[in-house]
Every structure is written in structure tokens, then in C-alpha cells.
């Protein structure tokens, strides 16, 4: 009952960093949504803002960690030009070729929009701070970008899970 | 109502213009567009795909992602000083950025970029 080094990196990429980002999203969104004057007290604002700042910065870091480990560590193993690589196996069978030609091709690119948008949201929260409570328009803007960042990560994560099921990187 | 007034009175709201936020949002859109653009260009031209192969193990994806991130950071570095003291509304920046992000996503969509596949 053990994993190879490649399987460990696949786990760190998908179930570690990727899942951390996706799971923390709900907390981050709730934090942004509840930054309304009627929902916060003066005493609670400082603690809540500190938690939100740490949360969004950690999520941006997790998003960058996910795409960097995926692209630079796991992906080269996936696309190795050998008969046993995941990519070769998927393309060898017409019934599974679309997992690479559509699923992997979209996932490997669109995933990179997620950390960019997560970084923008982290910047907004750190820079604007408590002003997010007063300015609903800016808060809603941050939430929109946050949801988009999650959506792109979710697309990549879902395809990653499906492709790993069909042809795991070993 | 008391809580709202109490919060408004006691919370410290540092004076911050919206310009830097708009700069970050616009730069994010530009970075997304750059990713879509290089993805489609790499599919359309083997020369460009070869040029973008910064790393043989990762293939052209290495160059596509590095170029997109560099474009994003340069856009942010240029827009931030331009807008930092301005009350540039985030609503306008978001509208522009959403269009750029949509174009970027289209550029990364296989059904779209494979239309330009070189022979």
C-alpha cells in the first residue's frame, strides 16, 4: 500500500493544493458576502478582515501552487512520448482520445486564469480592506472575480479527476 | 440600525481610491486574453508553437503560460501608476475585463483553437 513519486505529486497537485483552493472557496465567498454594515459589528470587523485577508492570500497561493505543480511537474509525465504515458494511452483508443483532445487541452490552459483572478481578488481585499464594507459595488466586483476564479479551477479540477480515472499518471 | 450606525462610526475606513483596483482588474483581463491568444496562435503556427516550447518536457504550454503571466504582470505594472490616484470606477473595469476574460476563455477552448490547426 504505497504511492510512487509521480502519484504523490499527482496527489499534492490535485487533492492537496487544488482541493484546498476549491474547498476554501465557500468560506472566502461567505466572508466577502457578509461584509455588509448590517452584518458586522465594530468589534468584529478587525478580526473578520484579518481572517479574510489571510484566507484570500492563502487561496491565491494555493491556486498558483496547483497550476505550477500541475504544469511543471505532473504534466511532463502525462505527455511523455512513450507507450505507457497517460497521453499516449488516451490517444491510442478512439473512445478515450477526446479525454486528451478536449478535456486535457482545455484544462491545461484554462486553469491558468484561476490564479490570476484569485490574485486580483487577494489584492482587492488587502488593498481596500474595510472599505469593502462601505462600497458594495467593489465588494460585488471582488465576488464576481472570485466566483470566476473558482469556476475555472473547478473545470480544470473536474477534468483532472476524470482523466486520472481513465489514464492515471504512473 | 443602531449596529449599522455604530459600525460606521467606529470602523476605520482608510481613504483609498478605486484606481489601483481597476488597474488590477483590467490587468487580469489582459492576462487572460493573452493566454487565449497565444494558445490559438500556437495551434495555428508550428513556428510559434516551437518558439513557445521554453521547456521540452512541458512543451509549448511552458511558453504560453509564461508569456501570459508576463503580459499580465507588465499590464498591471503599467496600469497601476496610471490609475493609482484616480477614481476609475471598478464597474467599468469589470465590464471591460469580463469581455477580455471571455475572449481569453474562447481562445483556450479546444473546439475553437483547433479550427486554426496548422496542417
- Cα–Cα distance measured from residue A117 to residue B27, given in angstroms and rounded to the nearest whole number: 10
Closest CA to A74 of A120, A17, A142, A140: A17
Q: Is B87 on the interface with A (CB under 8 A)?
A: no
- Cα–Cα distance measured from residue A15 to residue A2, given in angstroms and rounded to the nearest whole number: 16
A9-68 residues touching B, CB cutoff 8 A: 37-38, 40-42, 45, 67
Taking CB atoms and an 8 Å limit, are B20 and A144 in contact across chains? no
The answer to whether position B13 is within a domain reads no
Residue in chain A lying closest to B106 (CA)? A110
Number of domains in chain B: 1
Closest CA to B49 of B33, B29, B63, B32: B63
Taking CB atoms and an 8 Å limit, are B11 and A45 in contact across chains? yes
Taking CB atoms and an 8 Å limit, are A127 and B59 in contact across chains? no
Residue in chain A lying closest to B76 (CA)? A120
Query: Distance from B110 to chain A by nearest Cα, in Å?
Result: 6
The answer to whether position B71 is within a domain reads yes
Query: Distance from B35 to chain A by nearest Cα, in Å?
Result: 8
pTM of the predicted model as reported, rounded to 2 decimal places: 0.94
**Distances, alpha carbon A149 to alpha carbons A110, A166, B34, B60, in Å:** 10, 26, 17, 24
- Cα–Cα distance measured from residue A81 to residue A96, given in angstroms and rounded to the nearest whole number: 17
What range defines the domain where residue B93 resides? 18-116
Taking CB atoms and an 8 Å limit, are B20 and A145 in contact across chains? no
The answer to whether position B10 is within a domain reads no
If you search the block for the grid coordinates 472599505, which residue do you land on? A131
pLDDT in tens, chain B (119 residues): 455 665 656 777 888 889 999 999 999 999 999 999 999 999 999 999 999 999 999 999 999 999 999 999 999 999 999 999 888 889 999 999 999 999 999 999 999 999 999 76
Q: Are A41 and B6 in contact (CB under 8 A)?
A: yes
What would the pLDDT profile of A8-34 be if each residue is shown by its tens digit?
Answer: 999 999 999 988 998 889 989 999 998
**Distances, alpha carbon B6 to alpha carbons A137, A166, B9, B91, B102, in Å:** 22, 57, 5, 29, 42
Amino acid at each position: 500500500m504505497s504511492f510512487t513519486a509521480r502519484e504523490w505529486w499527482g496527489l499534492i497537485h490535485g487533492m492537496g493544493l487544488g482541493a484546498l483552493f476549491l474547498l476554501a472557496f465557500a468560506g472566502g465567498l461567505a466572508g466577502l458576502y457578509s461584509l455588509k454594515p448590517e452584518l458586522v459589528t465594530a468589534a468584529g470587523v478587525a478580526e473578520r478582515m484579518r481572517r479574510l485577508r489571510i484566507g484570500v492570500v492563502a487561496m491565491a497561493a494555493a491556486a498558483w501552487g496547483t497550476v505550477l505543480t500541475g504544469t511543471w511537474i505532473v504534466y511532463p509525465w502525462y505527455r511523455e512520448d512513450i507507450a505507457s504515458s497517460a497521453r499516449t494511452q488516451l490517444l491510442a483508443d478512439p473512445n478515450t482520445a477526446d479525454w486528451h483532445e478536449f478535456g486535457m487541452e482545455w484544462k491545461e490552459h484554462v486553469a491558468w486564469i484561476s490564479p490570476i483572478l484569485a490574485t486580483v481578488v487577494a489584492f482587492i481585499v488587502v488593498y481596500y480592506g474595510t472599505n469593502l464594507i462601505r462600497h458594495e459595488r467593489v465588494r460585488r466586483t471582488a465576488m464576481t472575480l472570485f466566483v470566476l476564479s473558482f469556476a475555472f479551477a473547478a473545470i480544470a479540477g473536474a477534468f483532472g479527476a476524470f482523466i486520472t480515472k481513465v489514464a492515471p499518471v504512473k | 440600525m443602531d449596529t449599522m450606525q455604530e459600525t460606521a462610526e467606529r470602523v476605520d475606513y482608510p481613504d483609498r481610491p478605486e484606481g489601483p483596483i481597476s488597474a488590477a482588474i483590467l490587468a487580469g483581463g489582459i492576462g487572460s486574453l493573452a493566454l487565449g491568444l497565444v494558445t490559438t496562435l500556437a495551434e495555428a503556427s508550428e513556428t510559434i508553437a516551437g518558439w513557445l516550447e521554453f521547456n521540452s518536457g512541458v512543451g509549448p504550454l511552458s511558453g504560453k503560460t509564461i508569456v501570459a503571466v508576463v503580459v499580465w504582470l507588465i499590464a498591471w505594472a503599467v496600469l497601476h501608476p496610471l490609475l493609482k490616484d484616480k477614481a476609475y470606477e471598478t464597474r467599468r473595469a469589470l465590464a471591460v475585463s469580463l469581455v477580455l476574460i471571455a475572449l481569453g476563455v474562447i481562445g483556450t477552448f479546444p473546439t475553437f483553437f483547433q479550427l486554426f490547426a496548422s496542417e
